[in-house]
Structure 1
Amino acid sequence: MSETWVTLVGNAATSVDYRDSAAGGVARFRLAVTPRYWDRQKESWSDGHSSFYTVWARRSLAMNLAGSVSVGEPLLVHGRLRVRDEERDGQRRFSADIDALAVGHDITRGTSAFRRVVKGDSLLTERAKTSVG
């Protein structure tokens, strides 16, 4: 069965929640994606309805996210789309998760500085842990 790969452009809606696990670090955050369109009647740009996605990352991507992303920052997220269908309190609910393969800042809206991480870099590890607690 083929998987659905997506690339989303949006803003970090929540801070990154990083946790250590036996299989390595796991991080998650919410991404808000809001389309913009030209409203001919108002003769100005307007925002459409926002969609929210839970972005999941593992291992080194999870740790790097925790040390790099803050609420409100413009991001690009590429990964596998997972749609969940749940029934809660008699109501059917749908939610969308992204298992991220890559995440980066959207530099069409600002600048970003890249810093390569060296394995065992304790500074990044400490920053990721302090952003959680």
Structure 2
Amino acid sequence: MAGEIVITVVGNLTDDPELRFIPSGVAVAHFTVASTPRVYDRESGEWKDAETLFLRCSVWRQEAEHVAQSLRRGTRVIAQGRLRQRTYETKEGERRTVVECEVDEIGPSLRFATTPVNKAPRTGVLAHAGAKSPAGDLFAQHDEGTQESEEPF
């Protein structure tokens, strides 16, 4: 959508993701990513930590459940999503405005770690109906220029 601010943040989870279900049964996971950039100080000739950004994030539906099952406090993650501004009222009646990230994609960073990847079973309209996409298996489709014998992963 035009006007959306898409960002990518790399940092560590400050706590385990908090998984909840809204009244309609849809899952949502909330978590905070702490991102501390490193900057070079020319005066001292050393790398130093800059100010840490604490970004509150949310992820929805099945991905929320995957996040809650897979990620823990301290895990270094790469998250991509859209910034959202939200206004709410506190119990004391004060109006507050916050900026949060609605995550589209998230995963562990492999820069300083390794992890096995387990493909989750498909869900959604096609999986529940037992049908395939009109062109066959969604995951078997190849981009132009890709040889048929090549696997993406």
Question: Above 0.5 in TM-score?
Answer: yes
Question: Which one is further off, 76-85 or 97-106?
Answer: 76-85
Compare relative contact order (CA 8 Å, sep 6+) and give the higher one, 1 or 2. 1
After superposition, the CA RMSD in angstroms is: 2.5
Q: 1 or 2, which has the higher strand percentage?
A: 1
Letter paired with 1:20: F
Q: Using the TM superposition, give the Cα deviation of residue 95 of structure 1 relative to its aligned residue in structure 2, in angstroms.
A: 2.9
The answer to whether residue 17 in structure 2 is matched with residue 16 in structure 1 is yes
Which residue is equivalent to 1:129?
none
1:75–1:105 contact (8 Å) kept in structure 2:
yes
Q: 2:37 aligns with which of 35, 38, 49?
A: 35
Question: Please, which runs of 5 or more residues in structure 2 have no aligned partner?
Answer: 124-153
Q: Using the TM superposition, give the Cα deviation of residue 96 of structure 1 relative to its aligned residue in structure 2, in angstroms.
A: 2.1
1:12–1:70 contact (8 Å) kept in structure 2:
yes
Max Rg structure: 2
Map Cα deviations across residues 79-132 of structure 1 (whole Å, 9 max, x no partner): 11113467878x986532111100011111211211112258xxxxxxxxxxxx
Q: What is the TM-score when the length of structure 1 is the normalising length? A: 0.77
Which residue is equivalent to 1:55?
57
Identity of aligned residues (%): 28
The alpha-carbon distance between structure 1 residues 59 and 107, as it changes in their structure 2 partners (threshold 3 A), is same
Map Cα deviations across residues 51-101 of structure 1 (whole Å, 9 max, x no partner): 111110111110000011111111110111113467878x98653211110
Which residue is equivalent to 1:2?
3
Question: Please, which runs of 5 or more residues in structure 1 have no aligned partner?
Answer: 121-133
**Runs of 4+ with >6 A deviation:** 86-89
Which residue is equivalent to 1:128?
none
1:26–1:57 contact (8 Å) kept in structure 2:
yes
